[in-house]
Amino acid sequence: MTEPLTEKLQHLRTEAKHALDKAADQDSLEPWRVKYLGRKGQLARLIKDISQLDAPARKSAGQLANTIKQELTQAFTARAAVFRDHHSAPATALSGASLPPASSVGHLHPITLSIRRIQHIFARMGFIVAEGPLVEDPAYNFDLLNIPLHHPARAETDTFHTASGSVLRTHTSPVQLRAVLAMNLTPPFSVISPGRVFRSESTDASHEHTFHQLEAFMVGERVTVADFKGVVKKYFSDFFEQNVTTRLRPSYFPFVEPGFEVDMSCIICQQAGCSVCGRTGWLEMMGAGMVHPNVLKNMNIDHTRWQGFAFGGGIDRLAMLRHHIDDVRLFMSGRLDFLNQFS
């Protein structure tokens, strides 16, 4: 009972926010309020069902419903303020009543929307954005990142090679070096790099050959794992518009030391256990660690003075969670029935 109800609440949250984003004018706000927040609205109906749950489930579902109510109320107030503050010219003044109606207008891809959202979050924390080439020199993709020749990531099965000896980058980590060496950055600095990456592997609902990662790295004299934890918590909490907790597990990546995997508390079930998190209450989100001294040396940075963290995580995975998408392959499918839901 808990799982369907918390999932229904999450769906309601996503749907209501989406509908509010699409509200074209002041007049469409009141019907939205009645539909979602009204006394007989959708949220009120779900809240009624909470009383039928057993005590522990009732508590977590109740907390979730309260959070959603607050979020939707705040979002509604903010949207109303936008319409109040920006009185746009009446559309008829510009449109010309005799013109035929516009057919369909294009819109941004859900991954582009997610990348913009991420860039805003990190810009507020003082990060700059760097870009790197998609067709990469193996030196940047592997060698300078301390990835030795025998590492599995260099195997033919994972990497697309070009006839001229380049590779399609398998991750966004090469931008760490590109940013420092090509942009002549000197520490302290904080950089993100969102972008497309490619892996020659078989695809399924959670694996694509072409997907998107976010790389972030911060170098300074006193940057520690505590800074990393703070940045990541802020990133996920802002992205999903709810408070999340994170945990680190030891892991190995040749370009960091120590390295870890980062898990986030499941935002679908609020850690009650559901199919998305495999009933563990946690979701695996990214690889991370403290930048390896060899990588700092390759950046011509004095590793005895400067240190920092780096992380790389899938953007598609984030967008899937935010929009309740169950197959990563939909993003690259070009299917309009899927894409038009984000217009």
CB 327 within 8 A of CB 303: no
Nearest Cα to Cα of residue 320 among 239, 199, 247, 209:
239
171 forms part of the interface with ligand FA5 (CB under 6 A): yes
Give the span between the Cα atoms of 123 and 112, in whole angstroms.
16
Residue nearest to ligand FA5 (CB): 314
Task: Give min distance, CB of 200 to ligand FA5, in A.
Answer: 10
Nearest Cα to Cα of residue 102 among 91, 89, 116, 88:
91
Report residue 326: phi and psi, to 5°. -105, 5
Give the span between the Cα atoms of 65 and 67, in whole angstroms.
5
Task: Give min distance, CB of 109 to ligand FA5, in A.
Answer: 16
Nearest Cα to Cα of residue 312 among 137, 113, 145, 120:
145
Task: Give min distance, CB of 157 to ligand FA5, in A.
Answer: 12
- Binding ligand FA5 (rule: CB under 6 A), the pick from 118, 168, 179, 310 is 310
Which tokens go with 243? 């408070």
Task: Give min distance, CB of 86 to ligand FA5, in A.
Answer: 37
322 forms part of the interface with ligand FA5 (CB under 6 A): no
Phi-psi region of 34 (alpha: psi -120 to 50; beta: other; left: phi over 0): alpha
Task: Give min distance, CB of 285 to ligand FA5, in A.
Answer: 6
Task: Give min distance, CB of 26 to ligand FA5, in A.
Answer: 40
Query: Helices 225-240 and 315-323, interaxial angle, to 10°?
Result: 40
Of 127-135, 184-192, 225-233, 307-315, the window that binds ligand FA5 (rule: CB under 6 A) is 307-315
110 forms part of the interface with ligand FA5 (CB under 6 A): no
Per-residue contact flags (x/-) with ligand FA5 for residues 212 to 251, judged by CB under 6 A: -x--------------------------------------
Q: Where along the sequence are the contacts to ligand FA5 (CB under 6 A)?
A: 171, 173, 199, 201, 207-208, 211, 213, 253, 256, 259, 286-289, 310-314, 316-317, 328
